Structure 1
């Protein structure tokens, strides 16, 4: 009899073995797998959407509106996913790419090459059970069809909270956890594993409207950052406005937001100055058509506010003052920092990564939208002619950089 813990370990061990088989394939075989997965997603689009609709219906009333919106597959999403996978297939081969070559000593050459991190545990919320099951089936079917030697064990499907708890104990087999779901899920995983966790629990993004902002640009950027997809982690949650703009320009921005259906809350200063309802707290993630507006005395105060109350996700400055913009981009310590562009651009697809497994506010090892490059580490390959260290007496070190080709 196999216990749950034994089953979880077996799943992870099989995934590691299959991942090594995948890494050993020719580059063109891995490309063929990706293209087959993309084709399969498009061929089964209606089935995927139907399963997602069942998930959404079952989740209604049991989860927050913001999480429900994240669960819903929007029209054309499957084609976007397929296009992203094909974009990855067209990229330069990421595995085994030569990064540096060094002559350590005569006849002794050291290469630094890219390598996959290893086994990943990617966990979404239980609300997507049916959608995930179908996507898992389509992907492993495609892998097995193109590369039988890799097989279906490359990706295991986790279906219960107990399995997650068991997998989180397997720090000797699993190399990285990427949680995709609610803040509560991310926080739970971060607190219950020794495995490195890549992700973010909060998405408290800011826009600072500088005194030198173009009013039309400020309205367009702020509206898009809030209204385009309010439940997204890269939607703006707080707009900081230079206090010199109190009056017609700020009133115009607030009215534009309200006309778009946004409930505008005021920070401590803005609530009093503009008669706005007070924000729930100084650090609040709405994930809905709500936003906080707060007044600041200048660039330095805006940056301090972001560092004190933000989550390190994505921040933006709207200004025509290039020096102020450069200062903001240099000093703000967040994963993504923009000038005159909506925070909604903070996305793996929009960054040209092809696809995204998550957005990380951590500092090790990947930060910001994480695509293929963020799932790589490095290895060293040394080629010699029989050298021995012999307490370094028998080696004349040269440490000479060599051309990569």
Structure 2
């Protein structure tokens, strides 16, 4: 008798011949090598010999190495919300994902419900037709329900099973995937011989590159109830009580040594209590130590959440990683395998003991409300404490920063990023001064009255500033951003999550300790936290229930990626800093050279550095063009020529590949324009609405330029490098925004505030005004 644990002959076939003739399986065999480090199925020899020491994945990021998958589809996923038939569109999406996994070389098994629902739909239609013809049942709103209620579930299963498999076969065939139906009953697990046959069959189907679709044979057997204390034949070990497809899928996953079991239901995952109750919280990670209060069972299937958790923990204890997720979510299977935080991930060996980021975000919301209740002087006091700690503990900070620089140098981090990563005593002193500016200006932020209106007698309306809520700031390389943003959050009473780059891990941790210390002095230590877990940025961007605004600070690639991924949370920032300096025909040459040098060479990696120099065409024949070029070359700047300049020069700089490029280094483009209007048109066409400069002694021209250029910052006779929160007197900035809505330019405390309306009356009602019993005044009042 062939069984799951005695297939050496089959393995030899797979190794020597079958893999060669089936490249898909050969891909799967290569794929298994990647899984070796994680204790997953390394090849069929370890599977069939039973030698593999199976253990669950410790982190979601490892799920991409899962080779053998069991996907369980619950009744609520299979059927439509109205109960009338199957949800074909949803099923098609799930089948497409399973087919993708199959073609990637993963071994897939499906455990499905739906036969009874499918059969009931067909039989109900026939029964209604028959009853209508006999005129024994008059039409009514309850006709379908009444007809369905008298159907025998076993008869429905018998009719629906063939229809269900025909549908699966048609859908999978579109992706050139072969399937096989495997119907099981209680004796298949209770009887040793049939049990061996079952798992021999499953193993054989997998080896032949076929997707087994498993279901209980409800046509001949009632729901199976193998008690938890039943000893599995041939093993001497107790099995799981098979009460529904949850426990069935868990048993199958454990027996075939699956790496991952995905249990798809109609809920997002496990909650610590019924989701409709106050205080219910989604648990993205679950261990057997968690305390959960379960609600009612599924309204569609036979299992409830307690059944799912029991099945999942049973499988987890036997080395199977489990995710319970909402099968109605788009691309759930592929999203889970990619490592995204979807559903509840079951593991007994978490990679770290850090607090869930959901809890951290909830604490930030609560902490924001604590900050809001504080007096302005108390918030200012916390910021002053942080500013002083930067100086008092500078040795500790610089020591941590030295570790980051050492690691970054070894890893080959680019020089501009190394410069951003580096801290110094001078930087810390400047930081401290900036934080004190924020503290001193924080007295007029939260709760500031913007408008007061007397709507009617004894009916007073006012508009006041309030914090946005919880901010997520994602930043790269620059650890000095951390205390700056933290101080701005304190001043604006916002909760804050900080996600720094791994290249600054030591520096960020040291600085965060100082932030926590300063917040503790006012009892708001949970309002700001550093997210240092392995949470993917994509998961943070999906936390619209916890996060109100995202502010990315880093490379243009980072900002564009976050703007693209964040679908529900607004993003404040700029993707590019394509800044222009226009030298008008009336520009002073000495001023022009000084400003251009600073704009390009002071800090070329900054987003406010000049990227394109626009020259009035009159300067092409004068000395200023030559002097500018010589100065830039002396500073080590590589020059690129714009299209119009290139046509004017026989020998000159290489042409620029594009006029819309942020070099971020000692490189820039030079282009000529016919006049100021042409310069403005060029800026609007190729700029990024960040910062643009005119150098001219003609005040009328300067005024036109300042009014016409539609950028967040527009300057006259100063370097573009002044586009900075500290230099603007804001103390610091959370970033520079080029958006049209809310804040623009360097964003300080005011940019982190929104407003709310407060209306105070006596016993006013709207009806009284409609009936003429009260009269509107709408009288604007002084703010004080």
TM-based fold match above 0.5: yes
Matches within 5 A, 1:215-226: 215-226=589-600
Which stretch has the larger CA shift, 28-37 or 124-133?
A: 124-133
Matches within 5 A, 1:140-289: 140-144=516-520, 146-148=521-523, 150=524, 152-160=525-533, 162-193=535-566, 194-247=568-621, 248-274=623-649, 275-289=652-666
Q: Which residue does 1:128 correspond to in 2?
A: 504
Alignment deviations for residues 245-288 of structure 1 (CA, whole Å, 9 cap, x no partner): 01312111111121122222211122343411222321111111
Check 1:75–1:292 CA distance in 2 against 1; reply closer, same or farther (3 A cut). Answer: farther
Structure 2 CA distance for aligned equivalents of residues 301 and 22 of structure 1: 50
**Cα offset for 1:8?**
2.0
2:598 and 2:721 in contact (8 A); partners too: yes
Which stretch has the larger CA shift, 79-88 or 341-350?
A: 79-88
**Cα offset for 1:66?**
2.8
Structure 2 CA distance for aligned equivalents of residues 403 and 164 of structure 1: 46
Q: Which runs of 4+ in 1 moved over 4 A?
A: none
Alignment deviations for residues 101-138 of structure 1 (CA, whole Å, 9 cap, x no partner): 10011100001111111100011132222221211111
1:316 and 1:342 in contact (8 A); partners too: yes
Structure 2 CA distance for aligned equivalents of residues 271 and 356 of structure 1: 39
Q: Which residue does 1:32 correspond to in 2?
A: 381
Structure 2 CA distance for aligned equivalents of residues 93 and 353 of structure 1: 13
Structure 2 CA distance for aligned equivalents of residues 293 and 229 of structure 1: 19
Alignment deviations for residues 166-220 of structure 1 (CA, whole Å, 9 cap, x no partner): 2211112211001112222111111112211111111110000011100001000
Which stretch has the larger CA shift, 71-80 or 213-222?
A: 71-80
1:266 and 1:277 in contact (8 A); partners too: yes
Matches within 5 A, 1:267-346: 267-274=642-649, 275-346=652-723
Q: Find the partner of 1:113 among 446, 450, 464.
A: 464
1:102 and 1:109 in contact (8 A); partners too: yes
1:8 and 1:166 in contact (8 A); partners too: no
Secondary structure of the structure 2 residue equivalent to 1:76? helix
Q: Find the partner of 1:73 among 423, 430, 447.
A: 423
Q: Which residue does 1:400 correspond to in 2?
A: 779
Q: Which residue does 2:319 correspond to in 1?
A: none
Check 1:255–1:94 CA distance in 2 against 1; reply closer, same or farther (3 A cut). Answer: same
Secondary structure of the structure 1 residue equivalent to 2:535? helix
Structure 1 CA distance for aligned equivalents of residues 394 and 648 of structure 2: 51
Structure 2 CA distance for aligned equivalents of residues 63 and 296 of structure 1: 38
Alignment deviations for residues 308-339 of structure 1 (CA, whole Å, 9 cap, x no partner): 11111000000111111111100100000000
1:190 and 1:197 in contact (8 A); partners too: yes
Matches within 5 A, 1:77-88: 77-88=427-438
Structure 1 CA distance for aligned equivalents of residues 471 and 445 of structure 2: 17
Q: Which residue does 1:367 correspond to in 2?
A: 744
- Tell which structure's C-alpha radius of gyration is larger: 2
**Which blocks of at least 5 consecutive residues in structure 1 are unaligned?**
none
Secondary structure of the structure 1 residue equivalent to 2:432? helix
**Cα offset for 1:350?**
0.4
Structure 2 CA distance for aligned equivalents of residues 123 and 170 of structure 1: 14
Q: Which residue does 1:53 correspond to in 2?
A: 402
**Cα offset for 1:155?**
1.1
Q: How many residues align?
A: 402
Check 1:271–1:303 CA distance in 2 against 1; reply closer, same or farther (3 A cut). Answer: same
**Cα offset for 1:73?**
2.5
Q: Find the partner of 2:453 among 72, 77, 102.
A: 102
1:267 and 1:294 in contact (8 A); partners too: yes
Q: Find the partner of 2:370 among 3, 9, 21.
A: 21
Structure 1 CA distance for aligned equivalents of residues 534 and 740 of structure 2: 28
Which stretch has the larger CA shift, 210-219 or 181-190?
A: 181-190
Secondary structure of the structure 1 residue equivalent to 2:763? coil
Structure 1 CA distance for aligned equivalents of residues 604 and 440 of structure 2: 32
Alignment deviations for residues 374-401 of structure 1 (CA, whole Å, 9 cap, x no partner): 1111111111111111163243111001
Structure 1 CA distance for aligned equivalents of residues 534 and 710 of structure 2: 35
1:388 and 1:395 in contact (8 A); partners too: no
Structure 2 CA distance for aligned equivalents of residues 385 and 236 of structure 1: 59
1:94 and 1:372 in contact (8 A); partners too: yes
Q: Find the partner of 1:8 among 353, 357, 362.
A: 357
**Cα offset for 1:57?**
2.9
2:711 and 2:738 in contact (8 A); partners too: yes
Secondary structure of the structure 2 residue equivalent to 1:246? helix
1:171 and 1:195 in contact (8 A); partners too: yes
1:108 and 1:384 in contact (8 A); partners too: yes
Structure 2 CA distance for aligned equivalents of residues 54 and 106 of structure 1: 66
Matches within 5 A, 1:380-399: 380-390=757-767, 392-393=769-770, 394-399=773-778
Secondary structure of the structure 2 residue equivalent to 1:278? coil
Q: Which residue does 2:66 correspond to in 1?
A: none
Structure 2 CA distance for aligned equivalents of residues 189 and 386 of structure 1: 48
Which stretch has the larger CA shift, 53-62 or 42-51?
A: 53-62
1:122 and 1:177 in contact (8 A); partners too: yes
1:389 and 1:395 in contact (8 A); partners too: no
RMSD in angstroms over aligned alpha carbons? 1.7
**Which blocks of at least 5 consecutive residues in structure 2 are unaligned?**
1-271, 273-282, 286-340, 345-355, 477-500
Which stretch has the larger CA shift, 301-310 or 71-80?
A: 71-80
Secondary structure of the structure 1 residue equivalent to 2:778? strand
Check 1:294–1:340 CA distance in 2 against 1; reply closer, same or farther (3 A cut). Answer: same
